[in-house]
Amino acid sequence: MSDPVYLDHNATTPVHPAVVDAMLPFLREHFGNPSSGHVYGRRAHDAVDRARTQVAALLGCEPDEVFFTSGGTEANNLAISGVLDALGGQRPHVLTSAVEHPATARPCDRLERHGREVTRVPVDGDGRVRVEDVRPFVRGDTALLTVMLANNETGALMPIRELADLAHAKGALVHTDAAQAVGKLPVRVDALEVDLLSVAGHKLYAPKGVGALYVRRGTPIRPVLLGAGHERGLRPGTENVPHIVALGAACELAGHDLDTEPARQRALRDDLWSHLLEGVPGIRLNGPASERLPNTLNVAFPGVRGSAVLAAAPEVAASTGSACHEGDESPSGVLTAMGMDPATALGSVRLSLGRSTDRMHVADAATALIRAWRIASESCAE
């Protein structure tokens, strides 16, 4: 049996062949420590500097505003905890949304346990934060507004520029988790007016275990980890040179294709949705029709659980947003935050396309999912 059609690119992406080629020399022969003064160290140091420039070019910032991390989770933790630590007790309030990834939500929970006040703004029925809902909660003692740029489950895009304007007017800093958006859409820090922005390598065809945090010059922030003075003292630990090189190559690759690849994936995504609409009466779209990632389609299959549909469709590799604990499923917190009833939320499946997805994949996946829904529906009726 051939491998299933991969429609789970929001979970992780395959490492692009060009990215593999870029990193291999730093796994094989260029093994030096970037902090060493000899030729081996200089080669590694120069490679890290080049990657920093490549990431900066994609984000529209200066290279010295890019700090490498172990991934998006560490970048989010560093942004949130590092800023609050640097500000001390001057501004005790943090503002976030009800649909953040755990890499943002849990650091906020910890801040709250340690005496900070955290406001979690609700989302509308499309899963988007509304500016008018945020405005009453931005205060003079707000330290940080942290809201994701694109939701990992529905693909919903958040109005970060408008939120940044609100926050900055009160003297607050702004962070966005852009892990799902970078490489799928143009993401420019000046256009968003953010002070901090997180990147996860494995969401844009680099390996797992590498990421970056953009920190605007002058932003108060302290390290979360303690050690030597790597990454200009903000993120200690000997640099993971092969993976950093890979992230730089992935960012350069993404920058070359931003004029064409998002539109190609959007067209395929819409074809997939058309097929499903025709074959599954009562299917519904979760999230906004237009203000979402071009590769993301989150749908609720009527009368069944999404997990049952995927179990009956081994030809498709996708995911649900529900959590399973010892056989007991609970609905996605993102979908229930949108006001969706638990049964509908449990019927939902996230289908996320990527660079390798083509029209044949879409047609085959649609056929398999429609057939699987019918099988699951019959099982429920028995």
For residue 163, how far is the Cα from the chain centroid? 18
Q: Tell me the three-class secondary structure of 234-267, residue by residue.
A: CCCCCCCHHHHHHHHHHHHHHHHHCCCHHHHHHH
Q: How confident is the model at residue 325 (pLDDT cuts 50, 70, 90)?
A: very low
In degrees and rounded to multiples of 5, residue 199 shows phi and psi of -125, 140
Cβ pair 25, 336 in contact under 8 A: no
In this prediction, residue 379 carries a pLDDT of 77
Q: Is the pLDDT of residue 221 over 50?
A: yes
**For 142-191, how does the pLDDT look when each residue is reduced to its tens digit (9 = 90+)?**
999 999 999 999 999 999 999 999 999 999 999 999 999 999 999 999 99
Mean pLDDT of 65-83: 98
Q: What is the mean pLDDT of residues 64-76?
A: 98
pLDDT at 1 over 80: no
- Cα 294 to Cα 158, 265, 276: the distances in Å are 14, 6, 17
* Angle formed at CA 380 by CA 374 and CA 382, multiple of 5 degrees: 105
pLDDT at 324: 47
Give the mean model confidence (pLDDT) for residues 113-134.
97
Tell me: pLDDT of 29 over 90.
yes
Mean pLDDT of the residues in the chain: 95
Residue 376 neighbours by CB distance under 10 Å = 23
Please pick, among 61, 108, 324, 380, the residue that the annotation labels catalytic: 324
User: Could you give all domains of the chain from N- to C-terminal order, each with its CATH number?
Assistant: 17-257 (3.40.640.10), 260-381 (3.90.1150.10)
Is-contact 83 221, C-beta < 8 A?
Answer: yes
Alpha helices in 60-170 (DSSP H): 72-87, 102-113, 131-134, 160-169
Cα 255–Cα 261–Cα 265 angle in degrees, nearest 5: 145
Give yes or no for residue 322 having a pLDDT over 60.
no
184-217 pLDDT tens trace: 999 999 999 999 999 999 999 999 999 999 999 9
Contact 315, 365 (CB under 8 A): yes
Full DSSP string of 23-73: HTHHHHT----TT-SSHHHHHHHHHHHHHHHHHHHHHTS-GGGEEEESSHH
Type of residue numbered 97: S
Whether the CB-CB separation of 163 and 131 falls below 8 Å is answered with yes
Residue 324 falls in the annotated catalytic set: yes
Taking each helix axis as running N to C, give the angle between helix 261-279 and helix 359-381, from 0 to 180 degrees, rounded to the nearest 10. 30
- Among 194-208, 215-229, 309-323, whose mean pLDDT is lowest? 309-323
Average pLDDT of the residues in 103-112: 97
SS3 332: coil
In the structure, what pLDDT confidence band is assigned to residue 44 with cuts at 50, 70 and 90?
A: very high
pLDDT in tens, 267-280: 999 999 999 999 99
Query: With bands split at pLDDT 50, 70 and 90, how would you rate the model's confidence at 90?
Result: confident
Within 13 Å, how many C-alpha atoms sit on residue 205's CB side?
A: 23
Residue with tokens 């988007």: 128
Does the pLDDT value for residue 341 go beyond 70?
Answer: yes
Work out whether strand 142-146 and strand 284-285 pair parallel, antiparallel, or are unpaired: unpaired
Cα–Cα distances in angstroms (integers) from residue 187 to residues 49, 183, 194, 254, 343, in the given order:
21, 8, 11, 11, 35
